[in-house]
A = this chain, B = another copy of it.
Amino acid sequence: MSQHIIYSNQVDATLSAVIEGGNYHNVAVLVDQNTRQHVLPMLASSLEKAMVIEIPAGDEHKTLNSLISVWEALESCGATRQSLLVNLGGGMVTDLGGLAAATFKRGIACVNVPTTLLGAVDAAVGGKTGINFMGLKNEIGTFAPARHVIISTCFFSTLRHEDILSGYAEMLKHAILNSCHEFTALLDQDLNATDSDHLLERLKASVKLKEDIVNKDPTEQGLRKALNLGHTVGHALESHALETGSPVAHGYAVAWGLVVETVLSHMILGFPSDDLYALASFVKQNYGAPSVTCEHYDRLIALMRHDKKSAAGEINCTLLRQCGEPTINNKIDVDSLQSALDIMRDLLGV
């Protein structure tokens, strides 16, 4: 998977070099209202001549209609197969822009410039693109790596604390997949006093772990499924929150999903209870708890059965024997899942 990750806080200069080095016919940049206002002006030199394509912000606009509007804009700005699309935004922009680039004229080059911690640690790396469809997250998409990903912490200062937390949940996931050492380092961090240099170091370690896994299994035949830790339950919590009119940030759902799947890991594979309690305590303190009662369990389980990671109606999770020892393709029965949801609600004090 030929994707070049560049760490730089001189994003304007770095992007200029990337554009000049690519000999592109022309350049378009995809933004949402937020990144147009707050980030695009910081890239005035590199994107001076770029056609600006704007889509509405928010996961509720990660839709086919937004995708069509990007295709139409590429068409109307005269994009050719040798054009470049720069995706400037969070995971919604890089996922949707990546899919637009992968399918326009059967594929044009794109560069991802993630502007959120979540985007940097997760969506901008690894080649997954997608849009939501029929109420299901990322149901339509491709595996198509960006040519370059420029990762920087210089855009994060404008993020809300909630958005930092959202990205941090994916870093927790990478850490728990990686080692006890990395996991403990993240839990010891005071998230209300994060300095950006320290964050960049942790971010590099986190992205590196994801890259290692993705390079070994780019199309998710096996090992890469480990990166789904927390997401079978997390996606269901996120979809359910959306359905019930109280959407939650992806990372919050992942944090709660991590707790449920770590409970399952404890129940099924003997994951150490100390690490489970440490995780739950950190999540409770920073992310609170999801608004679910046992009346919602049937719907949550139905959503999990529909998850891309599941097959033939079975619920499939990545679990852990201990930190750094994931096992993929665990089939989870409904009783265990209900118990784990109960325990999660106890641990997080719902």
List residues of A whose CB falls within 8 A of some B CB: 25-26, 64, 68, 71-72, 75, 78, 80-82, 99, 102-107, 128-130, 133-134, 136, 138-144, 219, 308-313
One of B26, B72, B106, B144 near A130 (C-beta < 8 A)? B106
With A71-B133, A133-B71, A139-B75 known to touch, is A311 a contact of B25 (CB < 8 Å)? yes
Residues of B within 8 A of A104 (CB): 139-140
* Copies per complex of this chain: 2
Residues of B within 8 A of A80 (CB): 308, 310-312
Dominant secondary structure at the A interface: loop
The smallest C-beta distance from A348 to any residue of chain B, in angstroms, reads 31
Residues of B within 8 A of A26 (CB): 312
One of B105, B142, B313 near A103 (C-beta < 8 A)? B142
Q: Is the CB of B141 within 8 A of A106?
A: yes
With A25-B312, A80-B310, A311-B82 known to touch, is A142 a contact of B105 (CB < 8 Å)? no
Q: Is the CB of B81 within 8 A of A143?
A: no
Residues of B within 8 A of A75 (CB): 133-134, 136, 139
One of B72, B105, B107, B128 near A106 (C-beta < 8 A)? B128
Q: Is the CB of A308 within 8 A of B106?
A: yes
Q: Is the CB of A107 within 8 A of B312?
A: no
Q: Is the CB of B311 within 8 A of A107?
A: no
Q: Is the CB of A142 within 8 A of B311?
A: no
Q: Which residue of the partner chain B has the closest CB to A81?
A: B308
The smallest C-beta distance from A73 to any residue of chain B, in angstroms, reads 11
List 12 extra interface pairs beyond A25-B312, A80-B310, CB under 8 A: A26-B312, A75-B133, A75-B136, A75-B139, A80-B312, A81-B309, A99-B103, A102-B142, A103-B103, A105-B140, A106-B128, A106-B138
13 contacting pairs across A/B (C-beta < 8 A): A71-B139, A72-B134, A75-B134, A80-B308, A80-B310, A80-B311, A81-B308, A81-B309, A99-B103, A102-B142, A103-B141, A105-B140, A106-B143
In the assembly, what is the distance between CA of A293 and CA of B240, in Å? 60
In the assembly, what is the distance between CA of A133 and CA of B76, in Å? 12
One of B68, B129, B130 near A64 (C-beta < 8 A)? B68
In the assembly, what is the distance between CA of A341 and CA of B241, in Å? 61
The smallest C-beta distance from A314 to any residue of chain B, in angstroms, reads 10
With A25-B311, A310-B80, A311-B81 known to touch, is A143 a contact of B107 (CB < 8 Å)? yes
Residues of B within 8 A of A133 (CB): 71, 75
In the assembly, what is the distance between CA of A141 and CA of B101, in Å? 10
Interface centre among A78, A106, A310 (most CB of B within 10 A): A106
The smallest C-beta distance from A1 to any residue of chain B, in angstroms, reads 14
Residues of B within 8 A of A313 (CB): 78
